[in-house]
Structure 1
Amino acid sequence: MDTNEYEDFLSNLKSYQGNPKCFLLQSLEILHGKWTAKIIFHLLKSESMRFGDLKKAIPAITNTMLTTTLRALEQQEILNRRQYNEIPPHVEYFLTEKGSALLPIFYELWHWGKIYPIENGISE
């Protein structure tokens, strides 16, 4: 990580005064919601997934919420939807370049989740 960029980040974070163009808050707004990160996680694991496969991977999500979240992610250009006009018709979802760019963020979350429980005496 570029030291100057990191220092700039810390400076902006400490001096935050409600700026609507805060990059961190804009990013968190995209990833907000109970299901968004879980859907992205499963799409990071697979090249593409069908609706039913996502539903099986996240059994607690309702069909309506899955549809709503997929549409929002598509609108934000995090994922794309590919429709096959076959019989029976099917749709596959896959991450765009923007969506795939989230991999390092998920890695850092994984790394933090690996270390945090050990450092805080939380074990399985």
Structure 2
Amino acid sequence: MKKLRNYDSAPGCSMEAALHILGGKWKGVILFHLFKDGTLRFSELQRHLVSINQRLLTKQLRELEEDGLVIRHVYPVVPPKVEYSLSDEGKELQHLIMELSLWGRKWLERRGMKTAIDEDLDALKEMFAKTEALDELGE
């Protein structure tokens, strides 16, 4: 029996479709690291996401690949080498993901909280500004 996924039936609205694709605790974080760091191997992604287990990371990556946001490139070598990068469709989410990251940082700061890994807010803002400038050049 085929598993129902990725809208074998019509979504109720466009927001439901977007949240269905990006739903899951780790998908946004995976996309964020692919934006921030570029192409990453599985083990590199796993190092960035310290509290995710291998099985769940694999599942989330497969779903992102199935939805057309991530490209999985397998190299025919021993031991196996697999790299993940953003597809053109995945790159369209960069503005949204960066805005969410900045909003999350401000939310934490207003409550006097920090992330487990010390992030440089200025570097995030700078990266976001560069992507906005590139987007404007492309239009």
Instruction: Identify whether the pair has TM-score above 0.5, normalized to the shorter chain.
Output: yes
Name segments (4+ residues, structure 1) moved above 2 Å: 110-118, 121-124
Decide which of 115, 118, 123 is 2:112's aligned counterpart. Answer: 123
Taking the TM superposition and a 5 Å limit, the aligned residue runs for 1:17-32 are: 20-32=11-23
Taking the TM superposition and a 5 Å limit, the aligned residue runs for 1:1-124 are: 20-116=11-107, 121-124=110-113
Distance 1:89 1:114, change over 3 A: closer
Distance 1:114 1:46, change over 3 A: closer
Match for residue 6 of structure 1?
Answer: none
Residues 72-114 of structure 1: per-residue CA shift (max 9 Å, x gap)? 0000001010011123220000010111111110232234335
Distance 1:56 1:115, change over 3 A: closer
Residues 24-59 of structure 1: per-residue CA shift (max 9 Å, x gap)? 111111111111111111111122111111111101
Distance 1:41 1:22, change over 3 A: same
User: How large is the Cα RMSD of the aligned pairs?
Assistant: 1.9
When structure 1 is superposed on structure 2, of 105-114 and 23-32 the one drifting more is 105-114
CA distance in 2, matches of 1:39, 1:114: 17
Of all paired residues, the percent bearing the same amino acid is 36
Q: Is contact 2:31-2:97 (8 Å) kept?
A: no
- Secondary structure at the aligned position of 1:43 is classed as helix
Q: Is contact 2:32-2:98 (8 Å) kept?
A: no
State TM-score, norm by structure 1: 0.74
Distance 1:63 1:111, change over 3 A: closer
CA distance in 1, matches of 2:13, 2:74: 36
Extract unaligned runs of 5+ from structure 1. Answer: 1-18
- Secondary structure at the aligned position of 2:68 is classed as coil
